Amino acid sequence: MARAGDRSISKAKPSSRRSGAGSGSASAPRRKGGAAVRLGRGQDPPRRGGPPKAGKRGPLGGVSVPGLIGDPLITQFIAFLRIECGLSRNTLLAYLRDVRDFLNDERLGLVVAEVGARERAEGRGEAAGRPDSERRATNDTALVARLGALSPKDLSDYIASLRSARKLSGSSVIRHLATLKVFFRFLVATERLLKNPTDHLDRPTRWRKLPNVMTPRQVNALIEATRGERVKPGRSEEPGAQEPASERRATQDTRAAGGTRATEGRNATIALRDRAMLELIYACGLRASEVCTLNIDDIKREAGVIIVTGKGDKQRMVPIGKPALGAIGEYLRAARPRLATGRSGDTLLLSRSGRALERVAVWQLVKKHARRAGLDKVHPHVLRHSFATHLLAGGADLRVVQELLGHADIGTTEVYTHVDRSRLHEVIKKHHPHG
């Protein structure tokens, strides 16, 4: 049973470096000639033409899903998710990965071979002269026919296998179920199917885990670690170790161009940026994706607030304190001009190369400074958890915290009421006969 115990971050312990093994089974060989591609579980869809460049997105917001069976079907599903459901890009990509895993599950028998693939490759048969649009439409029809033959029990067994066979967490299983419900709702809405088999699937109960929370002293130690100070002396760290790859490359280029003095100046610039980033996340309870998309104009210094664009492009106004404003002001004055290039635009936080700081880089930077501070299991969302818990501990109303965090459901915010031990002790002492 979950306990509202001390959820503070413990001191870091030395651990052996483990190599990450890929999850799931290996994918089947890819078929050529524009045919569908089988992907293994946990493998991201391949991108055409290499990784996307910053600031350049296609008509669907940069979302590309080659490799998914039934390409025209998935393309329409992407538009449905963005326009009808209003999902953010990261949520949309998570849904597409879930659909990919579902369509590639061999036990469901949904894998559809391209019609006439071998004959067309050999230049014989009726498939040889068939246009791509007709072949894809035939493939799409075969896939929809197999989807329509699935029963609620088939889908229920698939959801159960996610936990038993793939060992997914409860929250991941619930997201997979939500994906299936949206996917089949789309098929019914576009008149591909007459009935929705997911209507009979109940949402499993999720047992909430209490979030990890830092103490105010630990938060201060994390922020001070951006100055390069080691809280625990004796620990050695190579310059640039555990930095994002793009940051390391830019550091190496700086060393090659200007030597030690240039490198020290560059590191001081990055320290100001990282301090502003950490102050923003903690002072305003921001998600990693939210702090990356902040523009300079979103900081309203006179009013003491920032404009945050959250999930589903929903905007909210969050007050910001003097320490965070001071860190941002120092960064804008002394650091950002040295990082900015012609492609930087109005983005607030920039990488060493002058591009917008990416979400993965934010995670890596927070973990790097946590190691310097001697803290373990710290990531950007822990700072967000700490922001909410410290507000409630100070007497803030739960509805206010919900609005500041951008939660659509207050049930998501209520988990923080179980983390503050001091408040629980106070309630029991005041109201319980044996308190």
Instruction: For residue 308, list its beta bridge partners.
Output: 316
- The span from the CA of 122 to the CA of 247, in Å, is 49
pLDDT at 176 over 80: yes
Task: Give yes or no: residues 160 and 285 share one domain.
Answer: no
Q: What is the mean pLDDT of residues 251-280?
A: 75
- The span from the CA of 427 to the CA of 236, in Å, is 46
Q: Are 318 and 298 in contact (CB under 8 A)?
A: no
- What is the pLDDT at residue 435? 65
Task: Give yes or no: residues 186 and 319 share one domain.
Answer: no
CATH of the domain at 196: 1.10.150.130
* Catalytic pick among 176, 384, 385, 390: 384
End position of a domain, from candidates 150, 166, 200: 200
Q: Are 213 and 382 in contact (CB under 8 A)?
A: yes
Q: Are 348 and 272 in contact (CB under 8 A)?
A: no
Task: Give yes or no: residues 175 and 276 share one domain.
Answer: no
- What is the pLDDT at residue 324? 96
pLDDT at 86 over 90: no
Tens of pLDDT, residue by residue over 185-196, are 999 999 999 999
Task: Give yes or no: residues 239 and 167 share one domain.
Answer: no
Q: What is the mean pLDDT of residues 314-320?
A: 94
* Catalytic pick among 381, 418, 421, 423: 381
pLDDT at 321 over 50: yes
At residue 372 the predicted structure's pLDDT band, cuts being 50, 70 and 90, is very high
pLDDT at 423 over 50: yes
- What is the pLDDT at residue 19? 40
At residue 373 the predicted structure's pLDDT band, cuts being 50, 70 and 90, is very high
Q: Are 190 and 221 in contact (CB under 8 A)?
A: no
**For the chain, how long is the longest CA-to-CA vector?**
87
Structural domain count, the chain: 2
- The span from the CA of 31 to the CA of 111, in Å, is 13
Q: Are 298 and 348 in contact (CB under 8 A)?
A: yes
Q: What is the mean pLDDT of residues 142-152?
A: 87
Task: Give yes or no: residues 91 and 131 share one domain.
Answer: yes
* Catalytic pick among 230, 249, 407, 421: 407
Task: Give yes or no: residues 166 and 256 share one domain.
Answer: no
Helices 359-372, 245-284: axis angle to 10 degrees equals: 80
* Catalytic pick among 311, 367, 379, 423: 311
Q: What is the mean pLDDT of residues 46-68?
A: 41
Q: What is the mean pLDDT of residues 344-369?
A: 94
At residue 338 the predicted structure's pLDDT band, cuts being 50, 70 and 90, is very high
pLDDT at 114 over 90: no
Q: Are 182 and 95 in contact (CB under 8 A)?
A: yes
**Annotated catalytic residue 311:** yes
**Annotated catalytic residue 287:** yes
End position of a domain, from candidates 200, 229, 263: 200
- Mean pLDDT of the chain, nearest integer: 75
Is 76 part of any domain?
Answer: yes
| Residue 232 or residue 361, greater confidence | 361
Q: Are 130 and 121 in contact (CB under 8 A)?
A: no
Q: What is the mean pLDDT of residues 6-31?
A: 41
Q: With H, G, I as helix, E, B as strand and everything else as coil, classify residue 69.
A: coil
CATH of the domain at 369: 1.10.443.10
Is 102 part of any domain?
Answer: yes
Q: What is the mean pLDDT of residues 49-76?
A: 50
DSSP secondary structure string for all residues of 226-263: GGT--SSTT----TTTT--HHHHHHHHHHHHHHHHHHH
> Cβ-count burial of 348 within 10 angstroms (0-12 exposed, 13-18 middle, 19+ buried)?
buried
The amino acid occupying position 39 is L
- What is the pLDDT at residue 137? 54
The answer to whether the Cα torsion of 52, 55, 57, 63 is positive or negative is positive
- What is the pLDDT at residue 240? 41
Is 123 part of any domain?
Answer: yes
- Name the residue range of residue 226's domain: 216-430
The answer to whether the Cα torsion of 313, 289, 320, 272 is positive or negative is negative
Task: Give yes or no: residues 326 and 250 share one domain.
Answer: yes
- The span from the CA of 123 to the CA of 352, in Å, is 52
Tens of pLDDT, residue by residue over 375-421, are 999 999 999 999 999 999 888 999 999 999 999 888 888 888 777 66
Cβ–Cβ contacts within 10 Å for residue 279, how many?
23
* Catalytic pick among 100, 287, 355, 369: 287
| Residue 347 or residue 73, greater confidence | 347
Task: Give yes or no: residues 369 and 225 share one domain.
Answer: yes
Task: Give yes or no: residues 241 and 328 share one domain.
Answer: yes
Q: Which residues contact 348 (CB under 8 A, 6 or more apart)?
A: 294, 295, 296, 298, 299, 328, 336
- What is the pLDDT at residue 208? 65
Task: Give yes or no: residues 287 and 396 share one domain.
Answer: yes
* Identity of the highest mean pLDDT range in 97-111, 228-242, 375-389, 419-433: 375-389
pLDDT at 281 over 60: yes
End position of a domain, from candidates 168, 200, 232: 200
Helix residue ranges, H only, 105-244: 117-122, 132-148, 152-164, 170-189, 216-224
Task: Give yes or no: residues 237 and 167 share one domain.
Answer: no
Q: What is the mean pLDDT of residues 38-56?
A: 39
pLDDT at 371 over 80: yes
Is 42 part of any domain?
Answer: no
Q: Which residues contact 301 (CB under 8 A, 6 or more apart)?
A: 325, 329
- What is the pLDDT at residue 433? 84
| Residue 223 or residue 206, greater confidence | 223
- What is the pLDDT at residue 209? 72
Q: What is the mean pLDDT of residues 79-89?
A: 85
At residue 29 the predicted structure's pLDDT band, cuts being 50, 70 and 90, is very low
Is 391 part of any domain?
Answer: yes
319 membership: H or E segment, kind and range: strand 315-319
CA dihedral 235, 238, 239, 242 (to 10 degrees): -90
* Identity of the highest mean pLDDT range in 62-66, 242-246, 321-325, 425-429: 321-325
pLDDT at 35 over 50: no
- What is the pLDDT at residue 351? 93
Task: Give yes or no: residues 262 and 143 share one domain.
Answer: no
pLDDT at 87 over 70: yes
